[in-house]
Structure 1
Amino acid sequence: MAQRLRAVLVASALMSCAVLQDAYALDATAPPPASAGVGPLFGDDGHFCTASVVHSPDRSLIVTAAHCLADGDEVSFAPGYRDGRAPYGFWEVERVFADAAWRDGEDEDHDLAFATVRPRDGRRIEDVTGAGPLATDGRAGREVTVTGYPSAEEAPRVCTATPTAFHGTQQRIACPGFSTGTSGSPWVDAGGRITGVLGGYQEGGDSPDVSYSVLLDGRAAALYREATRTP
């Protein structure tokens, strides 16, 4: 699945001002849809991974795969992105949190990262899009919905299925078409909790039709605590 390589834009229109300037007209009285907190990560060459807003005390946190944020490049997040429009704005990634086992050895069992994003216009991202709580009980086997943005497409792919355990430390799911760019896609259960993040084995898998995630267990909980600790 690809995930560290940046995809070339499918069409030159994606680099036009219409794409790079977001539509940030919000109705503060209307609750955001459930999908509002999921979107692609953008770098210099277009969108290359997926992330989602996760509930945090500071209301400024997103979660994705660690390999998506490994290069230290300037990255922005566009929740709710579709067809060249970012209705909730582009949010600049500020600080990345990844486990030392990933930073030092790219251990696929720690392919998980959190990142803070800077406020926009005095608002924090969770107040704009909503957020899903993180589930860290380390369980596979419950039905989830996976939402991800292939780099070659301008709208998300959505799949609902039940993951199975893989090697005791990860989980996998059969969802067609989750190709390059879908790394970091959240796996969300019926209660709205984030129970997985596409990544792990082979940085998400070696087929676009079977995807992987680390089990979100005590290791994920410890990383979350680090990311939400007041500096």
Structure 2
Amino acid sequence: MRSTALQRFLFVGGAMLATGLLATCLTGTARATGTWASDPLNGNGDAVAAIGFWIANGSAALKRAVPFGPETYTPSTTWGPAPTPDGAPGSVAPAEAAGTVPGSGTSETITLPKTIGKVFFIDNQGKERWCSATSIQSAHRNVVATSGHCVYDPAATGQVMAEWVFIPGYFDGKTPYGIYAGKQAWTHAAFDAAEDYNRDFAFVNVYGGLRVTGKTQVTAAEYESFTGVKWTAADGRYYIATSENTGRLCDVVGGQGLAWNQPAEQVTLAFGYPAAPHPNGIKPYTGALPKYVYGRPANRAYLSADPVIDEHIGMLGNWTPGADGSPWMTRYDNTTRLGYVSGGVSLFVDQDRDGGFDLITSPYFDGETAAVYQQADAVPSGSVLGPNVS
């Protein structure tokens, strides 16, 4: 259900803000007029049910899910002036997973971060979908960064996706680090209210992770009285699961930093799961494994009439939908697998109109991005609790 009103956040003083700043080592000053919108995703009981939905029948729903993205958009872009920062540069430092020993040495190949994964959800048409995303550092170590259109459905203004979960390291139904159900979604008010792709980013608070360790077939009565993860099989049989809490997201996989009001042309790595075909039907990716693309975005804005954008930055790459929400990272350290998220894949562009995407774009992260993030930073989530979860 939608929140009753959009609220305006003043990025100044206050005990809540001060706590968040200290906890996440935030530097720089964000603009004081950022507006944000927020909606709940799953209550505690709903979170358990969402996890059950995705892992039922051998994770059938996870395996059925298809990429979600602007498949009908093939925007024509032109160049504009360089994006303009709205204040001083700022950042939040990345954080290792709890108990992690920092890596040492160097590598000639790119080491994929543990923080990236897929978000799964049901769109307004009832279809099982997924996007790319990453864990990001926060005071309560419980925030996921992705695209706004991977949280709020562009086809249903202001409506959040259903059964929203994040699975870091996802592969073929496997959940190596647990499943993290979404609790609260935060985005810029302009995206929530009007699908403004200039603000196509989102931060989501997630509950502590849950790992399913086994299943048992039970009677209908036993099923009804069970309060943990459970599901009904296609043949009508009832199953309940034994589960364990994995802990807070960043404690398990670490969290990337965040940076805003940065020079656009910094060396950038994007990590995600491209999967859909190009407009010409060629399908170079499967979405089964994460990929990366490396480049240096141009120091200019990309403009489009449909969808309307005038503040995106772009990087060369032949990625396709499925990579929506993939983090753009600067200052990426190949030994720690951590860097600073300074953007996220929003649109795919066929610049030369040959039927193949050759450019990925991202909103320019400025002080208003930081203001939305700071709202998510202040919110604790807790665990997915219940008598049948260890």
Query: Normalising TM by the smaller chain, what interval?
Result: 0.7 to 0.9
Deviation at 1:187, TM superposition (A): 0.7
Deviation at 1:86, TM superposition (A): 2.2
Per-residue Cα deviation, 1:53-97 (whole angstroms, up to 9, x for no partner): 111001000111101111321111111123442211221111100
Aligned partner of 2:315: which letter? I
Alignment TM-score, normalising by the size of structure 2: 0.49
Task: Indicate the SS of the match to 1:89.
Answer: coil
Deviation at 1:125, TM superposition (A): 0.2
Distance 2:171 2:198 in 1: 31
Verify the 8 A CA contact 2:135 2:143 in the aligned structure 1.
Answer: yes
Aligned partner of 1:195: which letter? S
Give the alignment of 1:74-89 within 5 angstroms. Answer: 74-89=163-178
Aligned partner of 1:39: which letter? G
Distance 1:20 1:108 in 2: 29
1:160 aligns with 2:317: no
1:53 to 135, 139, 155: 135
Higher strand share: 2
Per-residue Cα deviation, 1:200-226 (whole angstroms, up to 9, x for no partner): xxxx12343210001111111111112
- Count of residue pairs brought into register by the alignment: 208
Distance 1:139 1:225 in 2: 21
Aligned partner of 1:214: which letter? P
Distance 2:120 2:56 in 1: 11
1:210 aligns with 2:359: yes
Verify the 8 A CA contact 1:161 1:174 in the aligned structure 2.
Answer: yes
147-156 vs 63-72, greater mean Cα deviation: 147-156
Change (3 A) 1:138 1:128: same
1:40 aligns with 2:40: no
2:325 maps to 184
1:62 aligns with 2:144: yes
Deviation at 1:46, TM superposition (A): 5.0
Distance 2:202 2:370 in 1: 11
Change (3 A) 1:141 1:16: farther
Change (3 A) 1:48 1:122: closer
Aligned partner of 1:150: which letter? P
Verify the 8 A CA contact 1:84 1:154 in the aligned structure 2.
Answer: no
1:9 maps to none
2:313 maps to 171
Change (3 A) 1:17 1:122: closer
Deviation at 1:30, TM superposition (A): 5.1
Verify the 8 A CA contact 1:139 1:216 in the aligned structure 2.
Answer: no
Which segments of 5 or more consecutive residues in structure 1 lack a partner in the other structure?
1-13, 22-26
Verify the 8 A CA contact 1:139 1:215 in the aligned structure 2.
Answer: no
1:219 maps to 368
Distance 1:18 1:103 in 2: 31
Aligned partner of 2:118: which letter? P
Per-residue Cα deviation, 1:130-150 (whole angstroms, up to 9, x for no partner): 011100124210111111112
Verify the 8 A CA contact 2:61 2:128 in the aligned structure 1.
Answer: no
Task: Indicate the SS of the match to 2:375.
Answer: helix
Verify the 8 A CA contact 2:98 2:251 in the aligned structure 1.
Answer: no
Q: What do you get for the CA RMSD once the two structures are aligned?
A: 2.6
Per-residue Cα deviation, 1:20-59 (whole angstroms, up to 9, x for no partner): 79xxxxx975559751110111125555211101110010
Alignment TM-score, normalising by the size of structure 1: 0.80
Distance 1:230 1:15 in 2: 30
Distance 1:102 1:138 in 2: 22
Aligned partner of 1:162: which letter? R
Distance 1:149 1:54 in 2: 18
